[in-house]
Amino acid sequence: MKLPEILDPARRERDILSLIDAQAQQSLRCAEGLKRLITELSVGNAVSASVEQSSIGRAESEADRLDVDSSLKIAKGAFFGGMRQDFLLLIEQIDDIADAAWDASKLIISTPSPNGIVADFCGWKEVMGFLDTCISAIQEFISVLHLLPVDKKKIFDKIAEVRELEERADSFKSEALRKLLSADGAENTLQIIQLRDFLNVADNMADRSQDATQTILIMLAKGY
């Protein structure tokens, strides 16, 4: 006989892990949408870029909804107190990934480009490498999530991979910033500032992925 959810802690835990995975998948969709948006801007296709931004907004809203659902389930006591706080932190960090992609999309879409500086920037190999690496960091973080109920021993190698990807994303970002800040022309000052802010905000996608793996590491140290 199937127990009611309130009497079946293992079932509640599985349900929450499923919600957390779904939230992480939506955050990944946000990041992938941001790369597609940048690709469209690199060829001057503002209409398609706007369509991609709308898809990012929908995925971010869905990630927010899943965040609320997970938080409510955790609050009902699926885990003992100390672990409960770690899970709440984890879903907040996942939500930050989606927020970073959404906020970055708003920054880049709102940047004026009378002389084509935005299209040029979006086509830089440093920018594309940066976004690809951020996406890879999110994907590897999701693989850590998938290993939680299956094989905790393999998680440590995956956590190290996420750390390496975050560092690689920082390197791409630094290269793009150096190139951006060396651009000539005082007339581009506003665009340069906004594009710099875009890089710093988008970098939170990789940063929060690493932070989330560190939260999982703490959970494992506590005996999860």
pLDDT of residue 15: 83
Domains annotated for the chain, with CATH where assigned, are 5-221 (1.20.58.220)
Poorest-pLDDT segment among 3-7, 21-25, 63-67: 3-7
* CA-closest candidate to residue 142, choices 216, 82, 199, 75: 216
Q: How far apart are CA 126 and CA 124, in angstroms?
A: 5
Contact 30, 60 (CB under 8 A): yes
Poorest-pLDDT segment among 37-41, 117-121, 218-222: 218-222
* CA-closest candidate to residue 191, choices 183, 81, 83, 125: 183
Q: pTM of the entire structure?
A: 0.91
pLDDT of residue 91: 94
- Sorting pLDDT into bands at 50, 70 and 90, what band is 16? confident
> Average pLDDT for residues 3-22, to the nearest whole number?
69
**pLDDT tens digits, one per residue of 127-157:** 999 999 999 999 999 999 999 877 778 899 9
Each residue of 140-177: b (16+ CB within 10 Å) or e?
A: bbbebbebbeeeeeebeebbebbbebbebbeebbebbb
- Sorting pLDDT into bands at 50, 70 and 90, what band is 7? very low
Contact 137, 69 (CB under 8 A): no
DSSP codes joined into one string, 93-143: HHHHHHHHHHHHHHHHHTS--TTSHHHHHHT-HHHHHHHHHHHHHHHHHHH
Which DSSP category does 79 fall into?
Answer: S
**pLDDT tens digits, one per residue of 203-214:** 999 999 999 999
Give yes or no for residue 167 having a pLDDT over 50.
Answer: yes
What's the full length of the chain, in residues? Answer: 224
> Average pLDDT for residues 177-197, to the nearest whole number?
84
The identity of residue 195, as a single letter, is L
The percentage of residues in the chain with a pLDDT greater than 70, rounded to a whole number, is 90
Give yes or no for residue 57 having a pLDDT over 80.
Answer: yes
Q: How far apart are CA 104 and CA 24, in angstroms?
A: 18
The identity of residue 158, as a single letter, is K
pLDDT of residue 148: 85
